[in-house]
């Protein structure tokens, strides 16, 4: 009740003075992300500095993705003011009208790839799907490209691909056919499916979570796999005999949205503006392997030069990778995923 | 009905004819009273079971644009993966139930024959796994069964096998993991029912010259059937909705219905897509329970019992 009164007060004061009202410490917003080390990194990189700057309290929660947002919005029980999603989820949720419009007078979009700047969602960070292989099996002569991964004669061994992220597996399947990285999108879905069909008999596990992909590689259950770069980096740091690179990686973006019906929309907007600002974006790679969505972050001087080469969204590395197109999957995801499932679920 | 009460019934017969009306009125009043006492419970069942299931069914009839449609059900036939998943689910459920019976029956029999104290100690070992989370137990099985896991390493070191056995990330892994989790659900009701079997019946059989095997098959086994049937039904129904173990042990190659529901719910923007899967599973499960009921008799499933 007090919160609602407070917002009312803010709105009226805003109307009267037609000027930004400084947020009071009593203002609280709730931000949901994926949890784990990633959210811990976001806390240090984005949430804590923003809370301090704006003088607000940022509460945190974890999300399972678009279902959660849909449940809150359609059920009229929105408890988050900002939430993170995968970019294709943002594109789909936007089509369903689940998000508040973003105000780009408040949020500065300079430096963010235009493909990740939309009316009601904005990019926040990048994950790459990379090819990892075990060096105790292949030495340094392991599979380097997806065509190598598909070549079961030249590179015999056990393989794992993502079974839950059809979009990512179809993207690498297209690369395996020899399609150059700038021609992968729009994906020829039937062609990519044929490519999956060729390899599916040699796949020993279709992973459904990042942790599972990591476990499969770590325990030697498979010799090569597609994996998220954050997980791959963790494996390497823990001393596992693995190698990976950003060559032919699939760059997938994460985004942030304000769920429709958020009670603290205006403060959330200001907080979101902070999250995507180059200054805070540059903090993210200091704590985690997910690269900043704002390329101006690399110009802040905060990121040590020797670290830049390991960041997936550094301009040098972006050139080597395919940028997954959220708008493409918005319209094709359902059909493509069903076809993909038909193919791999026996 | 014993002889004594039957003769009593005959004795009161004329009286009952005389005051039949008031007796009936009494019976009706009593029934109403009982209903009133039951009503909080009935209301609860209605509110938390009947209404949500009805709602689930209702939701399953709408497509993404909110129009009444059979699209959610038509999908099962348009996309081959749904039928495959459905068949896999029942294959896993039957295999796990079978494995549980093979392992659980001898175990429960042994427990029921042990002295009480020894039996209670052994029972603790049966119940112990309940105290550990399903997730932890499943990961433990992964460590034991995977290619470079304990079993394969030992067998390879001993020279028993040359190639690692495919025990994890496939059907076998799912069945092993789920059997371990389901076993207590079979053993406990079975043990309870075996304990109530009168030893005198067995002795009488032996006395009349039956061999131990004949005594077991002709007396003990039939008497243990109700317990076996209820354990079987519990295990089977739990298997049908299982998620964690197949998701982790199946290596993405053994997709069960619950996993399919999760995928479908996140793929489609209407709840109906997932709801339809729930409705189908519920309907098939009820049909199967009906079949069990018919095959195994009233006491087995505890539903529709006319007492």
Q: Tell whether omega for the bond before A186 is within 30 degrees of 0, i.e. cis.
A: yes
Check residue B210 and report its DSSP letter: -
- Is the CB of residue B65 less than 8 Å away from at least one CB of chain A? no
Q: Kindly determine whether residue A219 and residue B148, on different chains, have CB atoms separated by under 8 Å.
A: yes
Distances (CA, A) of A239 to A218, A236, B81: 10, 5, 39
> How many angstroms separate the CA of residue B236 from the nearest CA in chain A?
22
**Which residues, 6 or more positions from A133, have their beta carbon under 8 angstroms from its beta carbon?**
A142, A143, A157, A223, A224, A225, A242, A243, A244
Q: What chain B residue is nearest to A220 in terms of C-alpha separation?
A: B148
Nearest-angstrom CA–CA distance, A183 and A177:
12
pLDDT for residue B15 = 57
CA distances from B247 to A189, A271, B255 (A): 26, 37, 7
User: Model confidence over A136-145: pLDDT tens digits?
Assistant: 999 989 999 9
User: Dihedrals φ, ψ of A225, to 5°?
Assistant: -160, 160
Q: Please name the residue of chain A whose CA is at the shortest distance from the CA of residue B168.
A: A221
d(CA A98, CA A262): 11
pLDDT at residue B305 greater than cutoff 80: no
ipTM exceeding cut-off 0.90 for this assembly: no
Long-range contacts of range A62-68, CB-CB < 8 Å, 24 or more positions apart?
A: A62/A32, A62/A33, A62/A34, A62/A35, A63/A32, A63/A33, A63/A34, A65/A89, A65/B266, A66/A92, A66/A93, A66/A98, A66/B266, A67/B265, A67/B266, A68/A32
CB atoms within 10 A of CB B214: 13
Contacts of B143 in chain A (CB under 8 A): 219
Asked which of A132-146, A254-268, B126-140 is least confident by mean pLDDT, the reply is: B126-140
B252 Cβ under 8 Å from any chain A Cβ: yes
Q: Quick one: which of A281, A280, A322, A289 has its CA closest to A307?
A: A289
Asked if B298 contacts B90 with a C-beta cutoff of 8 angstroms, the reply is: no
Q: Which chain A residues touch B if contact means CB-CB below 8 Å?
A: 65-67, 70, 92, 96, 158, 160, 163-164, 204-208, 212, 215-216, 219-221, 333-334, 337-338, 341-342, 344-346
> A207 near A160, Cβ under 8 Å?
yes
Name the residue of chain B whose CA is nearest to A221's CA: B147
Tokens representing residue B211 in the block: 């061999």
Instruction: State yes or no: pLDDT of A102 exceeds 70.
Output: yes
pLDDT for B269: 82
- Distance in Å, alpha carbon of B71 to nearest chain A alpha carbon: 14
- Which of A207, A334, A345 has its CB closest to that of B81? A345
Nearest to B79 among A164, A338, A346 (CB): A338
pLDDT at B22: 87
β-pairing, A203-207 vs A159-162, is: parallel
Give B231 to chain A, closest Cα distance, Å: 30
- Taking the C-alpha atoms of residue B149 and residue B219, their distance in angstroms, rounded to an integer, is 44
Residue A116: the pLDDT is 94
- CB A68 within 8 Å of CB A259: no
pLDDT at residue B64, rounded to an integer = 79
- Percent of chain A whose predicted confidence (pLDDT) is above 70: 92
Model confidence pLDDT, tens digit, residues B195-232: 999 889 889 988 999 999 999 999 999 899 888 988 99
Q: How confident is the model at residue B12 (pLDDT cuts 50, 70, 90)?
A: low
- CB-based contact A65 B266, cutoff 8 Å: yes
Residue of chain B minimizing CA distance to A336: B267
Kindly report the nearest CA distance between residue B270 and chain A, in angstroms: 9
Mean pLDDT along residues B233-250: 91
B60 CB-contact burial (10 Å; exposed 0-12 / middle 13-18 / buried 19+): buried
Is the minimum CB–CB distance between B147 and chain A shorter than 8 Å? Answer: yes
Q: Residue A49 class from Cβ within 10 Å (0-12 exposed, 13-18 middle, 19+ buried)?
A: middle
Has residue B168 got a pLDDT over 60? yes
Assess B256–A contact: CB distance below 8 Å, yes or no.
Answer: no
Kindly determine whether residue A206 and residue B253, on different chains, have CB atoms separated by under 8 Å.
yes
The per-residue pLDDT for A26 is: 61
pLDDT reading at A94 higher than 50: yes
Which tops the pLDDT comparison, B306 or B183? Answer: B183
What is the residue-averaged pLDDT of chain B? Answer: 86
Report the pLDDT averaged over residues A85-106.
94
Task: For each of the domains in chain A, give its residue range(s) and CATH number, in order of start.
Answer: 2-121+254-296 (3.40.190.10), 127-252+319-344 (3.40.190.10)
- In this predicted structure, the answer to whether residue A200 has a pLDDT above a threshold of 70 is yes
B98 pLDDT more than 80: yes
Are residues A205 and B169, on separate chains, in Cβ contact within 8 Å?
yes
DSSP single-letter state for residue A32: E
Contacts of B142 in chain A (CB under 8 A): 215
CB contact under 8 A, A338 and B149: no
- Report whether pLDDT(A124) > 60: yes
pLDDT value of position A275 = 96
**Each residue of A208-237: pLDDT tens digit?**
988 899 999 999 999 999 999 999 999 999
- Report the residue of chain A nearest B89, measured CA to CA: A346
User: How many Cα atoms occupy the beta-carbon half-sphere of A68 within 13 Å?
Assistant: 17
Both structure tokens of A202: 């040699």
Confidence at A204, pLDDT banded by 50, 70, 90:
very high
| A33 touches A267 (CB < 8 A) | no
Provide the pLDDT confidence category of residue B69 given band limits of 50, 70 and 90. confident
In the predicted model, is pLDDT for residue A3 greater than 60? no
**Test the A interface: residue of B86, B136, B170, B251 with most A CBs within 10 Å:** B251
Mean pLDDT computed over A92-110: 94
Region A261-286 average pLDDT: 95
What average pLDDT does the structure give for chain A?
90
In total, chain B counts a number of residues equal to 307
Q: How much is the pLDDT for B148?
A: 87
pLDDT of residue B303 exceeding 50, the answer is no
What whole-number distance in Å separates Cα of residue A298 and Cα of residue A109? 15
pLDDT above 70: residue A9: no
Section B154-178 average pLDDT: 90
Mutation for testing the B interface, residue in A69, A200, A338, A343 having most B CBs under 10 Å: A338
Q: Could you give the angle at the alpha carbon of B228 between the alpha carbons of B227 and B229, nearest 5°?
A: 90
Query: How many angstroms away from the CA of A335 is the closest CA of chain B?
Result: 10
Structure tokens at B126: 């049966």
> How confident is the model over A1-5, as a mean pLDDT?
38
- Tell me: pLDDT of B97 over 70: yes
Sign of CA dihedral B112, B117, B118, B120: positive
pLDDT at A153: 94
pLDDT tens per residue, range A47-65: 999 999 999 999 999 998 9
| Position B257 pLDDT exceeds 50 | yes
Q: How far is B267 from chain A (nearest CA, A)?
A: 6
Instruction: Tell me the shortest Cα–Cα distance from A342 to chain B, in angstroms.
Output: 4
pLDDT at A211: 87
């Amino acid at each position: 009740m007090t919160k609602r009164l407070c917002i009312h007060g803010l709105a009226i004061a805003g109307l009267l003075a037609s000027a930004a009202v400084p947020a009071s410490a009593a203002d609280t917003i709730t931000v949901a992300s994926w949890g784990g080390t990633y959210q811990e990194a976001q806390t240090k990189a984005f949430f804590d500095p923003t809370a301090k700057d704006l003088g607000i309290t940022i509460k945190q929660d974890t999300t399972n993705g678009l279902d959660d947002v849909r449940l809150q919005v359609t059920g009229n029980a929105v408890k988050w003011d900002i939430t993170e999603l995968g970019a294709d989820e943002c594109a789909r949720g936007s089509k369903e009208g689940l998000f508040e419009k973003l105000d780009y007078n408040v949020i500065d979009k300079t430096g963010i790839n235009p493909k990740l700047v939309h009316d009601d969602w904005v990019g926040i960070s990048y994950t790459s799907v990379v090819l990892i292989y075990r060096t105790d099996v292949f030495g340094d002569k392991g599979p380097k490209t997806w065509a190598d991964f598909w070549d079961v004669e030249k590179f015999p061994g056990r393989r794992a691909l993502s079974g839950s992220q059809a979009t990512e597996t179809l993207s690498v399947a297209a690369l395996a056919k020899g399609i150059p990285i700038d021609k992968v999108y729009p994906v020829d879905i039937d062609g990519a499916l044929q490519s999956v069909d060729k390899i599916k008999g040699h796949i020993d596990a279709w992973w459904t979570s990042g942790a599972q992909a990591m476990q499969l590689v770590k325990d030697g259950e498979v010799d090569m796999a597609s994996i998220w770069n954050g997980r791959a980096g963790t494996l390497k740091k823990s001393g596992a005999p693995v190698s990976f690179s950003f060559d032919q990686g699939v760059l997938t973006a994460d985004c942030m949205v304000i769920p429709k019906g958020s009670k603290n929309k205006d403060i959330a907007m200001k907080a979101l503006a902070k999250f995507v600002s180059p200054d805070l974006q540059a903090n993210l790679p200091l704590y985690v392997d997910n690269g900043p969505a704002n390329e101006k972050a690399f110009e802040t001087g905060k990121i040590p030069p020797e670290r830049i080469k390991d960041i997936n969204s550094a301009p040098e590395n972006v050139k080597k990778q395919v940028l997954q197109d959220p708008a493409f999957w918005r319209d094709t995801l359902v059909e493509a995923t069903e076809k993909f499932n038909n193919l791999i679920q026996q | 009905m014993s002889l004594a009460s039957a003769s009593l019934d005959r004795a009161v017969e004329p009286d009952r004819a005389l005051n039949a009306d008031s007796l009936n009125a009494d019976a009706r009043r009593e029934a109403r009273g009982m209903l009133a006492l039951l009503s909080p419970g009935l209301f609860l069942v209605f509110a938390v079971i009947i209404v949500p299931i009805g709602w689930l069914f209702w939701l399953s009839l709408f497509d993404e644009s909110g129009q009444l449609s059979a699209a959610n059900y038509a999908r099962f036939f348009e996309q081959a993966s749904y039928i495959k998943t459905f068949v896999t689910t029942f294959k896993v459920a039957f295999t796990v139930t079978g494995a549980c019976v093979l392992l659980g029956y001898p175990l429960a029999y042994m427990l029921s024959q042990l002295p009480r104290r020894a039996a209670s100690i052994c029972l603790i070992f049966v119940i112990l796994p309940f105290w550990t989370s399903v997730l932890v137990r499943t990961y433990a099985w992964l460590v034991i069964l995977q290619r470079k896991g304990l079993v394969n390493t030992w067998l390879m070191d001993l020279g028993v096998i040359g190639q690692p056995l495919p025990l994890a990330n496939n059907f076998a892994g799912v069945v092993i993991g789920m059997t371990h989790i389901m076993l207590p659900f079979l053993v406990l009701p079975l043990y309870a029912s075996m304990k109530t079997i009168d030893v005198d019946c067995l002795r009488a059989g032996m006395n009349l010259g039956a061999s131990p095997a004949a005594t077991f098959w002709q007396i003990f086994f039939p008497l243990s059937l109700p317990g076996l049937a209820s354990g079987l039904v519990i295990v089977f129904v739990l298997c049908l909705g299982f998620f964690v173990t197949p998701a982790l042990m199946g290596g993405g190659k053994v997709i069960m219905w619950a996993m399919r529901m999760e995928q479908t719910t996140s793929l489609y923007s209407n709840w109906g897509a997932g709801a339809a899967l729930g409705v189908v599973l519920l309907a098939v499960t009820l049909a199967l329970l009906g079949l069990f009921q018919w095959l195994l008799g009233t006491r087995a499933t505890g539903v529709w019992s006319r007492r």
